[in-house]
A and B are shown apart, each in its own frame.
Chain A
Amino acid sequence: MITMNGKKMQFSNISTDINLDNLENQDSLDVIVNMGPQHPSTHGVFRLVLWIDGEIITKAEPHIGYLHRGSEKLCESELYSQVISLFDRIDYLANLNMELGFCAAVEKLMEIDIPDRAWYIRTILCELNRIASHLLFYGVFGLDAGAMTPVLYGFRDREKIQSVFESVTGARMMHNFIRIGGLKEDVGNDFKKDVTKLLSTLKTSIDECDELLSGNEVFLARTKGIGTIERQTALDYGLSGPTLRGSGIPEDIRISDPYGIYDRFDFKIPVGTVGDSWDRYYVRVEEMRQSISIIEQALAQMDEGPILGNVRRLIKPPKGEVYTRTETPRGDFGVFLVSDGSDKPYRVKVRAPSFSNLLALTKMLENSYVADSVVILGSLDIVMGEVDR
């Protein structure tokens, strides 16, 4: 669709109405370009409408809803134990973090005491999942910026993590492993050995990945100063996770509002300085290293013990409502749960970090080049399953 002097020329299925007489008197010629919903680099089915003046984007409008599956509504007709399998599919790159988000909400409502061992295993698995998710981000972000190699490196290491998941939970992606009150089953005897071995390979691989892409001049030119979002704007838009930390705000729920046993670990929050795409990228790379340190500490502190708290098989939380926040790889993941005392939730509302982060895209894309739009979108690390739910 081309707009000029209030008159519109629209392509494809929309009507055509254009005045070509006074083209020369135009101040600006905004061309509207549809990006998606089947664009290969939009990380799922996501449509972005760009108003373009030459090479510059003047306005951007995200259109979502193409992956809407009605998860929240579906939760209302499922038993609490069945809802966990739905949460697996909300953010399909960080399944265990999603499961933890829901289970933590129910546990808070029911006031269940979770055994220490269960929390340690949960923490280890969730941090591994965070690394896996960031490794995938590393790969596809390289791909977005035009580098073909990093995606192979990212996937190589992610597969190793998934192999550990497979030997622990039985599935590579949809685990359904975390239960309300603890875990599905105890980990095997060689869990510690496996994870230690995995961490030592991950350390060298992350360094390798870092060296491969981070210093690359072409990559720096594509990302430095691109899609900058200032501190205050980032807060105003309600960003969270690495996207917010890239703007220089050291906000991490694991530290500011610790859940589980995160207060027992000593780790840092990597923050960016400017808030551009490169900062958001590098915060994630550093976060992988911090996650490794958390897992190492957890492995050292872990003890034998039970893995399931005192819960019945049929879970019936008391009447009431609860809101919990957990830190997923994409940011502040909130679950608002209303229970009417029955065995099915009355309402489950998910506060998805990707959804809030995505809205800042309009701000970031303003006055940037069309060619950078893919990089900026990639730097947000959105998962459409989480945006649409």
Chain B
Amino acid sequence: MIKLIKGLIITLSTALRSPVTGEYPMPEKRIPVKNKFMGFPALTYDFEIDEPFCTGCMVCIRNCPTSCMSANMKDNEKFTENKSSRKKIIDTFEINLGRCILCGICVDVCNFDAIEMSHEHERSKFERNANRVNLPELIKMGVKYQQKINWSPKQEKNRGTPKKPKTSNENNGNLT
């Protein structure tokens, strides 16, 4: 009986404490996600050159456990104008977010820092196919993420600023 009353005292004391829960849909009351949170993958954007980081090399697609992505590459016009160091650039990119399991393998294998796990995690939509996101939408998600955490590429070489003409011919390491 004593232990029972002790338990009641614990519940009573908890009732007087501040709540530990947040209220989910309310933007001001919900608990924010951590900086490292892995939401759905999104493509990052190189503002210096005004093009995405992604060159469409398909490494992430080959390594995806659920094969939820597809991509196509094209020749980069900005490379011929010597505005960018990327010879090829992403043309179309589609991720089926309904299939994605948020494992982060695509981010691991990417050599260009072109794909990141954004903080996007609410993908309830009214349309049937709305979870198949295309390139503009992915970049929109990525830009939102970049601005939120003040993102910069992990490797300097991945910046698209064109190298001097001499080195740009020798060093096309981005495309290996």
Report if A362 contacts B (CB, 8 A).
no
Cross-chain contact A213 with B7 (CB below 8 angstroms): yes
Task: Enumerate 5 A-B pairs (CB-CB under 8 Å) in ascending A order.
Answer: A174-B102, A211-B7, A212-B7, A216-B3, A217-B1
A213 to B33 Cα, complex, angstroms: 32
5-40 of chain B: CB within 8 A of chain A: 6-7, 10-11, 14, 20, 33-38
B65 touching A167 by the CB < 8 A rule?
A: no
B38 pairs with A211, CB closer than 8 A: no
Give the docked Cα–Cα distance between A70 and B3 (Å).
47
| Known A166-B36, A211-B6, A215-B6: A82·B1 in contact at CB below 8 Å | no
CB-CB nearest in chain B for A220: B3
For the complex, give the distance between the alpha carbons of A88 and B103 in Å.
Answer: 10
A208 at the interface (CB under 8 A from B): yes
| Chain A residue nearest in CB terms to B3 | A215
| A149 adjacent to chain B (CB < 8 Å) | yes
Taking the closest CB of chain A, its distance from the CB of B52, in whole angstroms, is 22
In the bound complex, what is the Cα–Cα distance between A281 and B33 (angstroms)? 33
Among the 9-residue stretches B41-49, B90-98, B104-112, B128-136, the one with 4 or more Cβ atoms under 8 Å from chain A is: B104-112
Cβ-defined contact, B20 with A216, below 8 A: no
CB-based contact A176/B34 at 8 Å? no
- CA–CA, A322 and B109, complex, Å: 27
| Cβ-based interface call for B101 (8 A) | yes
Which of B101, B104, B117 is most buried by chain A, counting CB atoms within 10 A of its CB? B104
The one of A82, A153, A168, A171 in contact with B105, judged by C-beta atoms closer than 8 angstroms, is A82
Who on chain B is nearest to A83 by CB? B65
In addition to A153-B14, A156-B20, A168-B36, 18 A-B residue pairs with Cβ atoms within 8 Å of each other are A82-B65, A85-B65, A85-B103, A166-B33, A166-B34, A166-B37, A167-B35, A167-B36, A169-B36, A170-B37, A170-B38, A170-B104, A171-B102, A215-B3, A216-B3, A217-B3, A217-B4, A313-B109
Residue of B nearest to A217 (CB): B4
B63 interface residue, CB < 8 Å from A? yes
Q: Which residues of B contact A149 (CB under 8 A)?
A: 7, 11
By beta carbon, the residue of chain B nearest A214 is B3
Give complex CA distance A219, B123 in Å.
Answer: 43
Q: Which of B2, B4, B108 contacts A184 (CB 8 A)?
A: B108
Q: Residues of B at under 8 Å CB distance from A?
A: 1-4, 6-7, 10-11, 14, 20, 33-38, 63, 65, 101-105, 108-109, 117
A-B pairs with lowest CB-CB distance, top 8: A215-B3, A170-B38, A82-B65, A85-B103, A167-B34, A176-B103, A170-B36, A166-B34
Contact with B along A223-234 (1 / 0, CB 8 A): 000000000000
Interface bin, chain A: 20 to 34
Interfacial chain B residues near A81, Cβ < 8 Å: 63, 105, 108
Q: Does A218 contact B (CB under 8 A)?
A: yes
- Write the A26-46 contact mask toward B (1 if CB under 8 angstroms, else 0): 000000000000000000000
Closest to A188 in B: B36
Q: Are A79 and B63 touching (Cβ within 8 A)?
A: yes
Could you tell me the distance between the alpha carbons of A184 and B35 in the complex, rounded to whole angstroms? 16
Asked whether any CB of chain B lies closer than 8 Å to the CB of A163, the reply is yes
A79 CA to B63 CA, complexed, in Å: 8
Cβ 8 A contact of B7, one of A168, A170, A188, A216 = A216
Smallest CB separation, B16 vs chain A (Å): 14
User: Are A211 and B20 interface neighbours, CB within 8 A?
Assistant: no
- A303 located at the interface, meaning its Cβ lies under 8 Å from any Cβ of chain B in the complex: no
Closest residue of B by beta carbon distance from A164: B34
| Alpha-carbon distance A217/B1, docked complex (angstroms) | 7
Segment 158-186 of A: residues with Cβ below 8 Å from B: 159, 163, 166-171, 174, 176, 184
